[in-house]
Amino acid sequence: MKLVVFILLITTTMAVPYLSSIQTWLASFQQPLKSLIDNPLRRSTIPQFILDARHPWILANQRKLERLPNAEAFLCSNPDSDSKEETEKEPQTCTTELEIPSDIFDNLEIDNNRAGISRPGWPNALERLGEMKRCQRALNQVKTLEVDIFVHREKYSAQYLKILEHFETPEALLTLFGDVLESMTNLETLKWKIPKEYTHSFEEAFTARNLSLPSIKHLEPGPSSHYLVSMCPNLERLENGGGFMWYHGYMPDGRDWAMMLIQAATSTPKLKRFAMVGGHDGWTPERISEVVKCIPQIESLGLLGSLGRWHDYTGYDTGDSGKLKVALEILSELQNLTHLDLGPSSDLDRGFDGGPGCGNAYFGKGGRKYLRQVTRQGAEATEKGGNIVVETLPRLKSFTIGGTKANVTRVEDKMVNATWPWTGRMDEWLMEVVPERSELWDVEYDRM
Ligand SMILES: *[C@@H]1O[C@H](CO)[C@@H](O)[C@H](O)[C@H]1NC(C)=O
Ligand SMILES: *[C@@H]1O[C@H](CO)[C@@H](O)[C@H](O)[C@H]1NC(C)=O
Ligand SMILES: *[C@@H]1O[C@H](CO)[C@@H](O)[C@H](O)[C@H]1NC(C)=O
Ligand SMILES: *[C@@H]1O[C@H](CO)[C@@H](O)[C@H](O)[C@H]1NC(C)=O
């Protein structure tokens, strides 16, 4: 009863969101209310960001750790610093039994958007960052940070999440993010998925403080978050992040975030690997030319997704559009390119369109046989695509199509041949990948 009244009160107050004093007042209630909904029985004494990281040692020892007088101090004090004294004061039985593995903070996340978590986006980020900032050991040790913030302003978000969500990116979060990222001095990989509608405020805040992240070697920014590239002067690998967000929608002003990511890579002289999904428009010749212009030193390249716009299944072999050859000819200007990843054969515009995406076509009598037929067409299209790669970019040392690595024969530093797992044994291979008696859903038939 009390809770209902409380929620009603908040809803009414939300009608006047621009009164900042009310927002502050609201914020002071978010934590208790959130805890109540998220974990009605008890909140762990282990900081939530450590639980979120799901390290097997933490999961296995959670109960024991929670019985320590101060689990946070035990886990977070730096092993080499003076604060170690504090840990030594823990009862002997606990500390000898609980030897903290050196990798518990290797992978951290700030994520309100994965299965099993329902928390409002901005408040969750504020809380997790606050915990990380207090945890010196985590700041020193983290190697990979994955940020995935989903802002619950959508039609389908649960009502209580909408109530707890902030209307705009909180100012305090922008500062806190900058502070925490700067303190993560051994961070190598940053995955950054902030909705494109909000990411601009991070750009402004980070630019204003001249954020520089020299330890980062591998960056995966989502749509319109290319601003991070120039803040990572030692970047070696740049890949698009954002998952499906990369495909969806446009910026209000029509800017092309794929092109912006390519252009941002100009500022990274140490970049060796660039991979991106074409998204809406696919890999057009203009985009591929931009890669050659902006990152001429690139050694490994992923042109993922389709070459040109994605086609629906027609059931007809539409023939080779020639797009693959054109794309590869542009790439032949890249002097140092040794590895190339291409999308699956259905994305290469060589006639094969991937077969019906809907599983129904493969059910019932003859379904297995039909799936084998489509799989064979895909394999044959991959083979033909592979031959064009060998012909057009003979200096490559390796390449993949749709995630399958070609077995390349090189003679005098040049590729002369590419074979595949099915080369010379197609029927046998088809029976392996689409066996007679298994259920359809056991078969990994992925047209993406
Ligand atoms: C950021 O860098 C610019 C140019 O180097 C400088 O003028 C400015 O004062 C710096 N700002 C901060 C907050 O350090
Ligand atoms: C290719 O690599 C060589 C050797 O590392 C380097 O000197 C050259 O500048 C690179 N080419 C381009 C276009 O960056
Ligand atoms: C690659 O090709 C060579 C020569 O054709 C062959 O001996 C080898 O077994 C192949 N490797 C794989 C993994 O298919
Ligand atoms: C290329 O592969 C095919 C099929 O395995 C084989 O018959 C042919 O001899 C190979 N050619 C070269 C030059 O290795």
Assess whether the C-beta atom of 423 lies below 6 angstroms from ligand 4.
Answer: yes
* Rounded Cα distance, 398 and 380, in Å: 19
Distances (CA, A) of 84 to 78, 99, 137, 186: 7, 13, 11, 21
Which residues lie with the beta carbon below 6 Å from any ligand 2 atom? 296-297, 335-336
Q: What's the 300 CA to ligand 2 centre distance in angstroms?
A: 13
pLDDT of residue 21: 46
SS3 assignment, position 432: helix
For residue 155, pLDDT beyond 60: yes
Assess whether the C-beta atom of 407 lies below 6 angstroms from ligand 3.
Answer: yes
- Which two tokens mark 156? 């389908």
SS3 assignment, position 146: strand
Q: What's the 406 CA to ligand 1 centre distance in angstroms?
A: 49
- Report the chain's mean pLDDT, rounded to a whole number: 82
Nearest ligand 3 atom, CA 417: 5
Domain boundaries, the chain: 272-448
DSSP codes, 172-184: HHHHHHHHHHHH-
Contact (Cβ atoms closer than 8 angstroms) between residue 269 and residue 306: no
Q: What's the 407 CA to ligand 3 centre distance in angstroms?
A: 6
Assess whether the C-beta atom of 209 lies below 6 angstroms from ligand 1.
Answer: yes
Nearest ligand 4 atom, CA 417: 1
Q: Picking from 162-171, 267-276, 423-432, which range would have the lowest pLDDT averaged per residue?
A: 162-171
For residue 358, pLDDT beyond 70: no
For residue 52, pLDDT beyond 70: yes
Residue range 260-298, pLDDT digits in tens? 999 999 989 999 999 999 877 789 899 999 999 999 999
Q: What's the 192 CA to ligand 1 centre distance in angstroms?
A: 24
Work out whether the CA dihedral 161, 163, 166, 168 comes out positive or negative: positive
For ligand 2, atom 14, which residue shows the shortest CA distance? 297
For residue 365, pLDDT beyond 90: no
Assess whether the C-beta atom of 175 lies below 6 angstroms from ligand 1.
Answer: no
Nearest ligand 1 atom, CA 208: 13
For ligand 1, atom 12, which residue shows the shortest CA distance? 209
SS (H, E, C) 324-379: HHHHHHHHCCCCCCCEEEECCHHHCCCCCCCCCCCHHHHCCCCHHHHHHHHHHHHH
Confidence category of residue 235, pLDDT binned at 50, 70, 90: very high
| Higher-pLDDT residue of 331, 446 | 331
Q: Report the 10 Å Cβ neighbour count for 91.
A: 11
Out of 174, 179, 204, 210, mutate this one to test ligand 1's pocket (max ligand atoms within 8 Å of CB): namely 210
* Rounded Cα distance, 63 and 324, in Å: 56
pLDDT of residue 6: 42
